[in-house]
Amino acid sequence: MTKHPDEMTDAEAADFYYQHRNDPDLVGEEVEVVAPARLSRVVSVRFSPEEAEKVQQRAEAAGLTLSAYVRQAALDAPAAPRPPVRMSCANWPRSARPCSASKTSWVHERRCGPGAERL
Report the C-alpha gap between 82 and 88 in whole angstroms: 18
Domains: count for the chain: 2
Report the C-alpha gap between 114 and 81 in whole angstroms: 24
Residue 51: predicted pLDDT: 95
- Within a domain: 49: yes
- Within a domain: 51: yes
pTM equals 0.42
Per-residue pLDDT of the chain (119 residues; tens, 9 = 90+): 577 777 888 898 888 888 888 887 776 777 888 888 888 889 999 999 999 999 999 999 999 999 999 999 999 888 777 776 555 555 666 666 555 555 555 555 555 655 555 43
Residue 59: predicted pLDDT: 95
Residue 119: predicted pLDDT: 39
- Within a domain: 104: yes
Q: Are 69 and 94 in the same domain?
A: no
Q: Which structural domain range is residue 69 located in? A: 44-77
DSSP conformational letter for 104: T
Sequence-ordered list of residues with C-beta below 8 angstroms from that of 97, at least 6 positions apart, any chain = 89, 108, 112
- Within a domain: 6: no
- Within a domain: 29: no
For position 68, which CATH number holds?
Answer: 1.10.1220
